[in-house]
Structure 1
C-alpha cells in the first residue's frame, strides 16, 4: 500500500490523483511515522517550501522509526531544498510542477529499491560490527541472484572466520536467531520470487542450489509451512515476516532502538 501525507488536504488529493493503484491518505502527522500500516510499501510526503522545516522533522522521525520504507518527498522547486535535506534520507524528490509526469516513475524506482536492496543499505548504515555489516550486506545483495548457502560460504566471500561472523550475529540478535537461519530465510525469499516468476520447484532448486526436500525442510522451519503453502503467500507478506523474524532482532538487539516502534 502507498500512503500519502501532506499538511494540505488539497495537495494530498493532488498527489493521490497522480498515483496508479491503491493509495491511503494519512490525516495525522503523528500516525505517519508509526509501525501502524505494516503493509506500507512507499510513503509520499508532500510539503510546500514554506513549511519545509516541519517536513524535515517528520522525515527524521520516519527515518528513525521506519528505516525499511522508501520515502518520496514532493515539494516546490527551490534551490534551498538540498540544504534542507542534507541530514535526512529520502528515496526520491519530486517537484509539484512535475507531479503527474515524474511521480509514477519515482514510485516504481523507490519500491524497487525497497526489499533486499534497501535492507542492505540499512544494514550498511547501522552500528553493527563492521565484519557483520559487510557480510550481511553481501548476503542481501547475493539473495537477489544466487543466495549464499551458509555461514561458511559467506565468511569465505568476505575473508573472515565463520565462527567470528556467527558469534557477532548471535550477539547482535541476543541469540534470538542464528546467521544460518537468516541465510536460510533469504534462500526462501529468492525461491519464492523465482517460483512466482513461473519456474517450477526443480528449476528453482537448481538456481538456489538446494534440493527440493531441503527447501521443504527450510520452509517448514521458517516461515513454518509447506512449499505448496509458501507459493500461495503474498510477496509483501513474506518479506514482512522475514523482517519480523530476522531483521527486527538484528536491528533492535542490545542497546539499540526497536525498529518500527
Structure 2
C-alpha cells in the first residue's frame, strides 16, 4: 500500500484531478490528506458506497465532491468539469483573440500565450521568456495595442490571471492562505489584487463564483481592444 500511495502522489503532480474509489472512506482519508498536503490545489473526487459515508471522517481533509456508485454517470462529468473549466474558458478567449484581426499580430500572440499557458505566467519576465522576447518589448506591444478604457498594463493582465487561478482553486475547507501558497503568492497579495481589479474582497469573489468573475474578465478584455477613441 505504501508503494502504491507513493506512486499516486508522484502521478498527482501532473494531474488535473484525482479520483479515488473506496468501499470505506476511512481507508483513503490518509491518502487524501497527503494529496492535500503535497498538492493543495488539486481537486480530489471520492467515489464510495452509500452506506459507508460518515462525514465526520472528512473534517480534516478537502475534497471536491463525494459520489456514490449509482451517481457516477450523472454527476462525475460535472465534478470533473469544475477543475478544468477555467483553463477551457481561458483557452477559448485566447483563440478568440487570435482570430480578431483588429488586434496587432504581436499582441495576439502575447494574449494567446498568456491565456493558454498552464499554469499562466505570473510575471512579465516569465511571459517574455515564453514568447522568446524581452519584458520591454512585451510591455511596448501591450501599450501600443490597447485603448485607454481597457487593461492598462500587461502586468494587470497577468494579475487578472493570478486572481482567476486562485478563485478556481478555492474550495470549502481550503483557506485562502493555502490557495495563495499553492500558486506561489500570499493571501494579502490576492486580497490587494481582488480590490484593485474588481473592487471586491476575496470573500465576495468566492460568493460570486469563478464563472461570473470569468465573465467580468472577458468583458474587460474585450473592451481593451475596441476601436481606440480619438
Q: Distance in 2 between matches of 1:174 and 1:168?
A: 12
- More helix by percentage: 2
> Residues 44-70 of structure 1, C-alpha deviation per residue, up to 9 Å, x if partnerless?
xxxxxxxxxxxxxxxxxxxxxxxxxxx
- Report the counterpart of residue 224 of structure 2 in structure 1: 250
Against the structure 1 CA distance between its residues 197 and 119, is the aligned structure 2 distance closer, same or farther, given a 3 Å change threshold? farther
- Report the counterpart of residue 220 of structure 1 in structure 2: 195
Structure 1 residue 123: deviation in Å? 1.5
Q: Choose from 212, 224, 229 the match for 1:237.
A: 212
> Residues 95-119 of structure 1, C-alpha deviation per residue, up to 9 Å, x if partnerless?
xxxxxxxxxx9xx99x958521111
Structure 1 residue 216: deviation in Å? 0.8
Q: Distance in 2 between matches of 1:200 and 1:122?
A: 34
TM-score, normalising length from structure 2?
A: 0.55
Q: Choose from 128, 146, 160 the match for 2:133.
A: 160
Residues 219, 226 of structure 1: 8 Å contact kept? yes
Q: Distance in 2 between matches of 1:229 and 1:169?
A: 30
Gaps of 5+ in 1: 1-104, 256-261
TM-score, normalising length from structure 1?
A: 0.49
Number of matched pairs:
145
Q: CA RMSD in A?
A: 2.7
Residues 147, 225 of structure 2: 8 Å contact kept? no
Against the structure 1 CA distance between its residues 114 and 205, is the aligned structure 2 distance closer, same or farther, given a 3 Å change threshold? closer
Q: Distance in 2 between matches of 1:197 and 1:183?
A: 26
> What SS is found at the alignment partner of 2:170?
helix
Gaps of 5+ in 2: 1-76
